[in-house]
């Protein structure tokens, strides 16, 4: 990417504007995290409810000390092991972080994205960047610059870094001494965190009665067309159906359009291609409803099924 484009984007961030930029997970809609007016524009453009806090993106681990409190040994160990990478750590916030970023919570989610354009942008802007996924609230997350343009045509600027590599949003954990809570599953799994922190208890917070992270809303990341999870080997689909399958197999469905997220049921590949597949079905005007094959909910399959179930929830 041309350094001039990054410098231009950084200038927009410094001036209080909004820039969509690639990360390794999905595209983010960024603003200067220390400028409450700029951050307010994110909520406005995304039509995001103000109770849903934003993740702050940093390019240097040192920023943990200025933005958070209680970054203890366990936190540093997670940061050293997984950053830059798709892990967001929720910690008590410092006074520097405006309340609008955290929706009034006294904690803030921080991550260092594993994407050169994102890291250069944060360094050039010379401030932490608050960024949710660059989609309208509740819709599919964008994994390309085109997906951003489709949903947010009025954003000040888009840095086009091609398709993202991971494809689903970061794992989110909160950590307090030796207790770590998984708030949103992602490609970094509970087992990965247990391996990094051998003396720590790691819990899965997925409890429907308790809204800890709005990412845990049952319905989220939905396509604008009905989406159904298929639970049979072969079924007869209604006309104008598209089907998303995760391993090459004989076409046992009568769908009009097939998309394979992976040739071999490889979970990393499925995660990377999941949102692109949903966007492609959403964009095809011949497709009226989408069907998708489930995956077993183990390891990374937990994060993949989390996104699939949330996308399908409102159509059940
Ligand atoms: O991979 C990602 O995390 C992408 C890229 C752009 O970094 N970002 C992303 O942001 O997915 P967003 O806003 O779409 O999802 C962030 C989730 C929200 O569900 C929010 O509720 C949760 O993180 N979150 C943020 N701060 C939190 C906090 N202090 N406590 C609990 N949950 C928090
Ligand atoms: Mg999002």
**For 262-296, how does the pLDDT look when each residue is reduced to its tens digit (9 = 90+)?**
998 999 999 999 999 999 999 999 999 999 999 99
Residue among 18, 169, 174 whose CB has most ligand 1 atoms within 8 A, to mutate: 169
Region 162-169 average pLDDT: 97
**CATH class as words, domain 227-315:** alpha beta
Contact in structure between 290 and 230 (CB atoms under 8 Å) = no
Q: Which helix (H) or strand (E) holds 100?
A: helix 99-102
Confidence band for 211, pLDDT divided at 50, 70 and 90: very low
Fill in the DSSP letter of residue 68.
B
Residue among 55, 90, 161 whose CB has most ligand 1 atoms within 8 A, to mutate: 55
**Phi, psi at 118, each rounded to 5°:** -60, -45
Q: Is the C-beta atom of 213 inside 6 A of ligand 1?
A: yes
Confidence band for 218, pLDDT divided at 50, 70 and 90: low
Contact in structure between 45 and 116 (CB atoms under 8 Å) = no
Q: Is the C-beta atom of 88 inside 6 A of ligand 1?
A: yes
Confidence band for 209, pLDDT divided at 50, 70 and 90: very low
The sheet that has 55-57: what strands, in order across it?
157-158, 19-21, 28-32, 129-130, 55-57, 107-111, 87-92, 171-176, 179-184, 201-204
Distance 188 CA to ligand 2 centre (A): 17
Which of 68 and 248 is assigned the larger pLDDT?
68
Nearest to 312 by CA among 220, 227, 230, 223: 227
Q: In the prediction, which pLDDT does 178 show?
A: 82
How far apart are alpha carbons 313 and 316 in whole angstroms?
Answer: 6
Which of 234 and 212 is assigned the larger pLDDT?
234
């955290």: which residue's tokens?
A: 102
How far apart are alpha carbons 266 and 263 in whole angstroms?
Answer: 8
The rounded percent of the chain whose pLDDT value lies above 90 is 78
How far apart are alpha carbons 57 and 32 in whole angstroms?
Answer: 10
Region 227-238 average pLDDT: 82
Q: In the prediction, which pLDDT does 220 show?
A: 66
Domain ranges of the chain: 3-204, 227-315
Q: Which of ligand 1's atoms lies nearest the C-alpha of 220?
A: 19
Confidence band for 182, pLDDT divided at 50, 70 and 90: very high
pLDDT tens-digit series, residues 235-246: 788 889 999 999
Q: Is the C-beta atom of 172 inside 6 A of ligand 1?
A: yes
Give the predicted TM-score (pTM) of the model: 0.88
**Phi, psi at 47, each rounded to 5°:** 55, 45
Q: Which helix (H) or strand (E) holds 63?
A: helix 63-67
Fold of 3-204: DHBP synthase (3.90.870)
Q: Is the C-beta atom of 164 inside 6 A of ligand 1?
A: no
How far apart are alpha carbons 35 and 97 in whole angstroms?
Answer: 9
pLDDT tens-digit series, residues 113-161: 999 999 999 999 999 999 999 999 989 999 999 999 999 999 999 999 9
Q: By alpha-carbon position, which residue is closest to atom 33 of ligand 1? A: 213
């Amino acid at each position: 990417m041309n350094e001039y484009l990054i410098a231009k984007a950084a200038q927009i961030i410094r001036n209080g504007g909004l820039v969509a930029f690639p990360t390794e997970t999905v595209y983010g809609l960024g603003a200067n995290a220390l400028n409450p007016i700029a951050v307010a524009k994110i909520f406005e453009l995304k039509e995001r409810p103000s109770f849903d806090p934003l993740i702050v993106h940093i390019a240097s681990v040192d920023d943990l000390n200025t933005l958070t409190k209680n970054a203890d040994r366990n936190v540093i160990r997670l940061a050293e092991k997984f950053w830059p990478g798709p892990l967001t750590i929720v910690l008590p916030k410092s006074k520097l972080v405006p309340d609008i970023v955290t929706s009034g919570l006294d904690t803030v989610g921080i991550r260092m994205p594993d994407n050169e354009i994102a890291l250069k942008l944060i360094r050039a802007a010379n401030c932490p960047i608050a960024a949710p996924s660059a989609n309208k609230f509740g819709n599919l997350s964008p994994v390309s610059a085109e997906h951003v343009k489709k949903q947010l045509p009025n954003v000040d600027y888009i840095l086009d870094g091609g398709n993202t590599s991971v494809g689903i949003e970061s794992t989110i954990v909160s950590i307090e001494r030796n207790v770590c809570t998984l708030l949103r599953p992602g490609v970094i799994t509970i087992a990965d965190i247990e391996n990094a922190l051998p003396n720590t208890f790691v819990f899965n917070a997925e409890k429907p009665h308790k809204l800890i992270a709005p990412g845990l809303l049952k319905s989220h990341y939905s396509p604008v067309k009905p989406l159904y999870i298929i639970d049979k080997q072969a079924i007869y689909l209604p006309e104008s159906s598209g089907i998303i399958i995760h391993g090459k197999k004989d076409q046992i469905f009568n769908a009009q359009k097939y998309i394979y997220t992976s040739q071999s049921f490889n979970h990393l590949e499925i995660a990377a291609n999941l949102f692109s597949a949903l966007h492609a079905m959403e964009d095809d005007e011949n497709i009226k409803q989408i069907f998708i094959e489930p995956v077993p909910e183990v390891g990374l399959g937990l994060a993949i099924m989390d996104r699939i179930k949330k996308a399908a929830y409102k159509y059940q």
